[in-house]
Amino acid sequence: MTETFAATGDGFRLVAVASPSEAVLDYYELEGRRRADGGWRRLEPAATPRLATLPLIATELGRRTLVVGGRRLPLFEAGQGPTRLVLTVR
């Protein structure tokens, strides 16, 4: 699953959620445009609230990678325990 956020001058906004499972998109309970994207389903919400900060947590289950400007930053390393990160826009 992937969540795509846009950073604006005053925070973050959810742009899209993608997953091979339609049930994952249903979990978000958001209205918006749904479409096939390769073997995945993609939801582009009609409207989402602005988030002043974007808290992230990465655990062994549901490992996460932060992708920013083409750079991939792993947020979980085995044996290190959960990683907690809060992003802000400055």
Residue 88, C-beta contacts closer than 8 angstroms, at least 6 positions apart = 52, 53, 54
What span, in angstroms and rounded, lies between the C-alpha atoms of 31 and 21?
17
pTM (2 decimals)?
0.81
Q: Output the CA torsion sign for 48, 17, 31, 44.
A: positive
- What average pLDDT does this structure show over 43-65? 87
Q: Domain residues of the chain, as ranges?
A: 1-51, 52-90
pLDDT digits (tens, 9 = 90+) for 70-86: 898 888 777 777 788 89
